[in-house]
Structure formats: C-alpha cells, structure tokens
Structure 1
C-alpha cells in the first residue's frame, strides 16, 4: 500500500478565454460589483445609524445628568441664601405658583371690561387699527394717540370723582 508509485497524468489544463478575461478584469478593477457595493453600503449605513442612536442616547444621558446637577446646585444656593432649608421651594412648586398667578392675571383681564367706557374702547380700537395699518410708519398715528390719551384722562377723572 503506498509503496506503489502513482503516475501523474500530465495533460495540460485549459480555461476558456471568457473566464480568463473575467478574472483579468476583476483583478484589474479594484471596485466590487454593483450588487456587492450596494450590500457594503447598506451594511455601513446600518452601522452608522446604530452608532448615531448610541451617541444620541449618551448625549441625552449627559444632558439629564447636567440638568440634575444644576437643579441640585440651584437648590443648594437657594437654601444657603434663605438660611432656612424648609422655606425653599422646588421648581415644581414655583411653577405651580406661577400658574396660579397667571390664572389671577387672566381673571383680572377678564373683569377689566371697557363696556362702561365706549369712547375709550373706540379710541383704543382706532389706535390699534392705525398701528396695524401703519406698521412701518407708526408716527402717522399721532392723532389717534392724542384721542386715546384724552379718553384715558377723562376716565381717570371720572374714577377720581367716584372715589370722593
């Protein structure tokens, strides 16, 4: 077994000219085929998107940490300035207070009705209309301004007389 010499058949191997040309063209051009290039591009885009999402998540995490640190620093500063740690309100409590003040202002504006003073309301509307019509030249509304000032002075005088 194995001691017998095997004889090699030395017949020449031949390849078709089309195969040789295709291999030569592929070796000569460094660019991959369009299908392969599309596959490579899709893979690269997927990796870029994944990396971008990871970076955005990290950025949001850093922002949250910065926000928390700034809020803590502000509370510490407010406590130090107030001297009494229990008197310092959180930002949520301050926002609630702000909403309450806004509601009061809205109620005040709703009660402030100019129906008792039709002249003042007409002069006010005329002044606003003039400003809208002369947005680039508001000085042209000087007559409406004077009328409005006179109406306000008249209402003030009526109010002063009503208090006496």
Structure 2
C-alpha cells in the first residue's frame, strides 16, 4: 500500500523548454556582483544588525536578572549565617561559656538605650541651673580670675565661697542617698 511511495525513483526527469530563458544584462550583473561579494546589501545588513542588537539586549537583561537573583540568594544566605552564628554565641553566653563577650543585636540595642538615658541623666545633673547659689559663686570666681589675671591670689575670698557652696551641695546630695 504505502510501499510504492517509499521507493526512490532512479530515473531522472528532465523538462525542456521550447523558448530560451533570457535575463537582462542588469540582472546578470547584479547577480554576479552579489555572488562575487560576500557582504550583504546595506538594507539586509541593517536588518541583521538590528536583530543582533535585539538578541544581545535580551541576553544582557537575562544575565542581569540572573545576577540579581544570585546576589539576593547570597545576601539571604549570609544573613541566615550571621543570625545562626549570633544565636549560637548568645547560647554560649547563656551557658556561661562566653562570659558576656558576645551579645545579640537586640541586647546591644538595649544596652545602647540604657547608656543614652544615663548620659541624659548625667547631663541634667551636671547642669547648674538647679543650684543657683553654686552657679553664682562659680560666676563670681571666674569673673575674679578674669579681672585679676596677673594676681589670682586676690580671689581667695571667691575661692572660699565656691568651696563652701560645693561642700553644702555635697551634703545635700549625700542626704538624698540615705
């Protein structure tokens, strides 16, 4: 049934035309020039160039996307590794192995806030605005030293007043601690 189609005909069929085929000299010259030069026509070359540019841009976009994905995977892996290391070190500290040498970021943040509040309290305590008698004796001492730059021993009375003010303030402070 289908065996006749799979057979190859060894006979060659040739068709002959009664009229001869003729080409114009321009066509023959163009074909011979095209055959002689391996470069394509400018229109064909621009089409090829555009196609190549498009493929290169597509490949670059795919490579950039792949690079971003790899960078994200690396970032996530490093983040996970750092968290695991931090947890392991925090576990060692809790078990007494590290003796406080490594803390988690949350613990460090808490310590930082505690230090900030201590600094704020220290700065408010350091302010002399709450102690007008001490501030007045300090200003008197400074102005005396400025006016008697060459004979600072003349300011002995202001020094005594300042020392007494400080001593009084210390007594009041120690009373609040008891």
Counterpart for residue 146 of structure 1: none
Alignment of 1:65-144 (within 5 A): 65-81=80-96, 91-115=105-129, 116=132, 117=135
Following TM superposition, where does structure 1 have runs of at least 4 consecutive aligned residues deviating by more than 2 angstroms? 8-16, 21-24, 30-34, 89-98, 114-120, 154-158, 160-164
Which of 46, 49, 66 is residue 34 of structure 1 equivalent to?
49
1:160 aligns with 2:167: yes
Over the aligned positions, Cα root-mean-square deviation in angstroms equals: 4.8
From the CA coordinates, give the structure whose radius of gyration is larger: 2
Cα deviation 1:18-55 (Å, max 9, x = unaligned): 7827972139xx99843123213311220221121111
Structure 2: tracts of 5 or more residues without a match: 1-8, 143-148, 150-160, 172-178
Q: Structure 2: how far apart are the matches of 1:157 and 1:21?
A: 114
Compared CA separation, residues 8 and 33, structure 1 to 2 (3 A): same
1:7 aligns with 2:15: yes
Q: How many residues align?
A: 130
Cα deviation 1:91-140 (Å, max 9, x = unaligned): 424523432342232233134323443656xx7xxxxxxxxxxxxxxxxx
Counterpart for residue 73 of structure 2: 58
